[in-house]
Structure 1
């Protein structure tokens, strides 16, 4: 098989850099173009020295027509509102496109514009986009040219809740998602909120009741449940570089018990290469998934409150971004999903 020619737009952000790192070691990939608005003309390893002698490419400015002509698949890791022009050129050339941003995650423009406060200029493309959560959309991803990579918080939340919603066991208006993220989730740009002295030895909630990932979570859960789902979602910033821990609470309909819940999750995720249902009594931690494409899941049923507590852990830059994007690429090109992604993470 010939090498897949890959271009990455926004390669010098944290998610873009992880894409570069993963794809530089991918046996079926040839990195063809790396674009950067801030570092155009610089060698990539000058921006990210850990890739010295691994990636010798020089970053360039974005030229969508040239990028689409030279590449088989293009990844975009851009701020919201910037992916549509690239997508149009990719479609015109008949190539594949995987967007790590939010521009194609929603089924309609109204929700996007309400939560992101940006006019959507690609409404005509939304029907062609597939939400790229492989555990739920694998068959659709296979035939897609446009894949919308899920957000990091939604990945952890949706994978934690999917078996319950699909089986109709959870009350759709009872769901509470308490999530905590490392600082890399805020991106590489300078901000007072992510300044060392603000973050170190501190944990705080932010964007309470108004985080942009809320409607993305609700849209995916509603599709599973077959009815509207409303969640209470509260994210927190924690003093660690990477990782997301979601602690999810849901009230269950009568008849549930710990054993049947565990069996439900076992069946639902049987054979999934990157979802690890932990043994009963063991709960996930972010350190165990750092640097990996795994989502670890643990659950506890509380008969006193008729609630299940589901805990998930992912690396926000891998399964929450770049790793999942590579997993989607592997599916599109009929490769094993674990190609370039196999193995555990780093510890400690």
Structure 2
């Protein structure tokens, strides 16, 4: 049994994470922290947890976390995780960070896209990118996992087979993605206020969304590992959709040679044959197909000489809490699917 802590327990992702962990046979949630002054109970923060866990939040203290847990899930905002992680790692706590603080390899790239300096470059050196479908061998011994984002997981899983097998041109890739409102977090914002976002569809972060360098970095790593040296360049445009949860991405790429749907589907099935949470489907996937699950559904089409990949997943589970539990399972020797099916 592994004792775990939830650092930053008030958000949607933390709620989903706790719901998964309370039914995990090898995990015990021993501690939760909150930056709220009143230190609320978890079932007050998240009424859906009533009767499932009896725990009150505490202020964050690395010594208290280390005395209670050997693994900490950090569900903190960007910037806050890099402040908390060094103290936990110094005390031997293994960290699964759900923010973006450890996803980019280069602190200069992080500063450029997140508008502040990275204060833990040693952590960047240590961190393993936590997408099991691509980094399954590196995750088990890791002490610090950079849990991927929801948009990035969708786009990377959709494009990885094409980049790995050198099937497409690595520039001019277009990622058109739509996300439910929960992807913006629980803190109130004008853009996610009900009268602003209901019955409306809007693009945001055009040309400057922070997930762009993360997508390019991981896909570039995949390309280099398969023998291609040129970088990957994407045009990523996210959209806010008036639904609670889910992401759907339609991705357009230029093939390097003749492409057939049959061959591409075979490629995807082969590439993901050992990945229990990627479902390569013949139908056009919809967000309801993967809602409340840890599955990513995807399919491939060829239209007027272009390759189209359509992929969807639940942004709170496969895009956040579910993949965090996948990483926990790999780190602690449990079957990857534990508590997720």
| Smaller-chain TM-score bracket | over 0.9
* Counterpart for residue 82 of structure 1: 80
1:60 equivalent to 2:63? Answer no
Equivalent residue pairs, number: 336
1:128-277 alignment runs, 5 A limit: 128-226=126-224, 227-277=230-280
Structure 1 segments (4+ residues) deviating >3 Å: none
Once the 2 structures are TM-superposed, how far is the Cα of residue 51 of structure 1 from its aligned partner?
Answer: 1.1
**Counterparts of 2:205 and 2:74, CA distance in 1:** 25
Structure 1, 250-259 or 228-237: larger mean CA deviation: 250-259
**Counterparts of 1:69 and 1:85, CA distance in 2:** 19
Question: Contact conserved, 1:76 with 1:99, CA < 8 A, in 2?
Answer: yes
**Counterparts of 2:37 and 2:177, CA distance in 1:** 33
Provide, for residues 24-49 of structure 1, a one-character-per-residue CA deviation record: whole Å limited to 9, x for no partner: 11111111111111264221111111
Question: Contact conserved, 1:39 with 1:59, CA < 8 A, in 2?
Answer: no
- Specify the SS of the correspondent of 2:14: helix
1:283-294 alignment runs, 5 A limit: 283-294=284-295
Once the 2 structures are TM-superposed, how far is the Cα of residue 285 of structure 1 from its aligned partner?
Answer: 0.6
Provide, for residues 228-247 of structure 1, a one-character-per-residue CA deviation record: whole Å limited to 9, x for no partner: 11100000000000000011
**Counterparts of 1:255 and 1:233, CA distance in 2:** 25
- Specify the SS of the correspondent of 1:42: coil
Question: Contact conserved, 1:177 with 1:248, CA < 8 A, in 2?
Answer: yes
- Specify the SS of the correspondent of 2:136: helix
**Counterparts of 2:61 and 2:125, CA distance in 1:** 26
TM-score, scaled relative to structure 1: 0.95
Question: Contact conserved, 2:265 with 2:299, CA < 8 A, in 1?
Answer: no
Structure 1, 58-67 or 149-158: larger mean CA deviation: 58-67
User: In 2 relative to 1, CA 330–40 (structure 1 residues): closer, same or farther, beyond 3 Å?
Assistant: farther
Q: CA RMSD in A?
A: 1.0
Structure 1 residue runs without a partner (length 5+): 343-348
Structure 2 residue runs without a partner (length 5+): 225-229
